[in-house]
Structure 1
Amino acid sequence: MSTETTAPSTSKVVLVTGASSGIGEATALRLASEGHQVVLGARRTARLEAVAERIRADGGRAGAVRLDVTDADGVRAAVDQIVTEHGRIDVIVNNAGVMPLSRLDALLVDEWDRMIEVNVKGLLHGIAAVLPHFRRQGGGHVVTVASVGAHEVVPTSAVYSATKFAAWAITEGLRLESDPGIRATTITPGVVESELAEHISDPEAQTAMKTYRRNAIPADAIARAISFALGQPADVDVNEIIVRPAAQR
């Protein structure tokens, strides 16, 4: 079915960043199956197009845009283009993130910088791009995908946890500063099946993560939480949902 399918009255226009795999892909698939117009953003365009085509083949509505969240101008241009094509943007799911864990004394400064660029500045770029449209529309929803690392620190997670605490704090600040029509939700996953752990270069962190990830839950568990937050009436703002494996303590 083409992207011209008639949208249900509850349909939202949703941008999902980091949508080429993991939580982002699962979120795009679920929201599209529920009738929303989804736009998938990430750097891996071939993966994006494959997911978008899967959605369209199942009767959903999806577009794809190459998106590097560290590029503020690029994020703003992508959001503006979505508004031009669809008349509005209702939701941004700020999901793009990296997790190259390491001890501080490993001195992997480039990896620290990358986490700050993607996990913190990337979130800010998304917020900056959508807020003018949300204010003009009189409403919108910012969803931040954080981590249980926002609430705990373990050896090798100091910088990662700092970026996720920052993500939580930024989203909470947005909630406090915004008019009631603009909602803000932090989704806080525990151990989830994803590619994040594959990019850990520090040997000690790699070993620890193999044990830590033995009880991972599917990415769709997080997508369901996002769907729940988006599906609430306009007078309900779900501020945070923590979702982790039952076996994770």
Structure 2
Amino acid sequence: MARILVTGASSGLGRDTAEALADDGHDVVLHVRNRARLTGEESTARWEGVVIGDLAKPDEIRAVARQAAAFGRFDTVIHNAGVLRSPDVTTVNIVAPYVLTALMEKPDRLIHLSSSMHRTGSTDLQKLAAGTAGYDDTKLWVTTLALALASRWEGVTSHAVDPGWVPTRMGGPGASDDLAAGHQTQVWLATHEDVVPRTGGYWYHRQVQTPHLASRDEDFQAQLIRALESHTGVTLD
């Protein structure tokens, strides 16, 4: 069985992903923003552990990395946490997965939640430092990060997943995609060996899709990593 960290897992797709993995017998460590997101003993009994921290706050991102390190090396890390309309969209959607990935011991597998909206994202990385990025920009950047990591670290697979427009709190009740399908690709990528391509895929409902061309551009990948290193002061080995 695998040890798996799921960020943003108090509700929505993150909780669905964590519960499916736990049901399959995996050792799941849950990340939640604060203790108030945990509701009673039943919420914690099935997990190997819980790490707590607000991924909108740089110091707490680092604290989450330290808490996670106490569990040892993870087989899989699923960067599920995200916000849609918030002043914290840049920090939560791209800075947090970057910093956690850079500070934690390398897992076997990395899975990053993207969105079809990444296709309208901007390659203007000045928005990162200025704090003017929109949701679509951050999802282009996290997709680019996922695909950059796919070729950067030997032995580590990295994928991006579009879970679809699903009726979670973020997606809203009018979302037209299938809620169950929203987490199944992440669970499959986290635990199965018969994944083709083995790394560097952009997935929607277990099918490979074509992402924004910039996300596969090696020059833009390098520019993004340099921008993140400068913005955070954290180097990606």
TM-score normalised according to structure 2 size: 0.71
- Per residue, is there more helix in 1 or in 2? 1
Q: How far apart, CA to CA, are the structure 1 residues paired with 2:44 and 2:181?
A: 19
Deviations 1:132-161 (A, max 9, x none): x12xxxx521110111111247xxxx8211
Cα pair distance change 1:90/1:73, threshold 3 Å: farther
- SS of match in other structure, 2:134: helix
What is the alpha-carbon distance in structure 2 between the residues aligned to residue 27 and residue 49 of structure 1? 18
Equivalent position of 2:65 in the other structure: 79
* Distance across 1 between alignment mates of 2:171 and 2:165: 10
Deviates more, 1:74-83 or 1:144-153: 74-83
What value does the CA root-mean-square deviation take over the aligned residues?
Answer: 2.7
SS of aligned partner of 2:19: helix
Residues in 1 aligned to 2:109 and 2:58: alpha-carbon distance in whole angstroms: 19
Aligned match of 2:186 in 226, 236, 239? 226
- For the 8 Å contact 2:166–2:175, the answer to whether it is kept is no
**% identity of equivalent residues:** 27
1:116 aligns with 2:102: no
1:105 alignment counterpart: none
Quick one: which amino acid aligns to residue 203 of structure 2? I
**Does residue 102 of structure 2 align to residue 128 of structure 1?**
yes
1:63 to 41, 45, 49: 49
SS at match of 2:48: strand
Contact 2:3 2:28 in 1 (8 A): yes
Q: What letter corresponds to residue 81 of structure 2 in structure 1?
A: A
Q: Which residue in 1 is equivalent to 2:146?
A: 171
Task: List runs of 5+ in structure 2 lacking aligned partners.
Answer: 122-132, 207-237
Per-residue CA deviation, residues 58-80 of structure 1 (Å, 9 max, x unaligned), is xx443222122234443344334
Distance 2:151 2:156 in 1: 10
Cα distance in structure 2, aligned partners of 1:187 and 1:197: 16
Equivalent residue number for residue 18 of structure 1: 8
> How many residue pairs were aligned?
193
- Identify if the C-alpha distance between structure 1 residues 14 and 216 changes in structure 2 by more than 3 Å, giving closer, same or farther: same
Residue number in structure 1 paired with 2:116? 148
Question: Gaps (5+ residues) in structure 1?
Answer: 1-10, 101-110, 199-209, 245-249
Cα separation, 1, equivalents of 2:175 and 2:29:
32
Aligned CA distance change for structure 1 residues 82 and 120 (closer, same or farther; 3 Å)? closer
Offset of 1:237 from its aligned partner?
2.9
Give the whole-Å Cα distance in 2 for the aligned partners of 1:55 and 1:64. Answer: 7
Larger radius of gyration: 1
**Distance in 1 of aligned mates of 2:2 and 2:109:** 10
1:28 is aligned to 18
Instruction: Assess, with a 3 A threshold, how the Cα gap between structure 1 residues 229 and 197 changes in structure 2: closer, same or farther.
Output: closer
Deviation at residue 24 of structure 1 after TM alignment: 0.5
